[in-house]
Amino acid sequence: MRKTTVYLDEELVEDLGRAAKLAGKPAAEIIRAGTAKEVESYLRVRPKMKARPADLGGDLTPERIARELEGFGA
């Protein structure tokens, strides 16, 4: 593990202290768990678009966009 410094506003520090006390855990453990969860949410694989706007060319009408995005997110 590596030591680091973060700056938190006073209200968050107070809330963190209360949460740590309620959980019976050190504040550092709560910070590590929350940070890991947030970082993981950014690193999650996101679905890729079927076509990039640069690949579409021509007129981008709502109908054309709907056709190109068909099946995306399914």
21-47 pLDDT, tens digit each: 999 999 999 999 999 999 988 888 776
* 36 shares its domain with 60: no
Structural domain boundaries, residue 59 = 47-74
pTM given for the model: 0.57
Residue 65 and residue 52 in one domain: yes
pLDDT, greater one: 19 or 60? 19
Do 30 and 66 reside in the same domain of the chain? no
Shared-domain flag, residues 56 and 30: no
The C-alpha R_g of the chain, in whole angstroms, comes to: 22
The residue that leads in pLDDT, 69 or 8, is 8
Identify the burial level of 37 via C-beta atoms within 10 angstroms of its C-beta, where 0-12 means exposed, 13-18 middle and 19 or more buried. Answer: exposed
> Tell me, what CATH number does 14's domain have?
1.10.1220
> What is the pLDDT, as a whole number, of residue 19?
97
Residues 33 and 55 in one domain: no
The verdict on 54 and 73 lying in the same domain is yes
**Residue 63 to residue 7: CA distance in whole angstroms:** 48
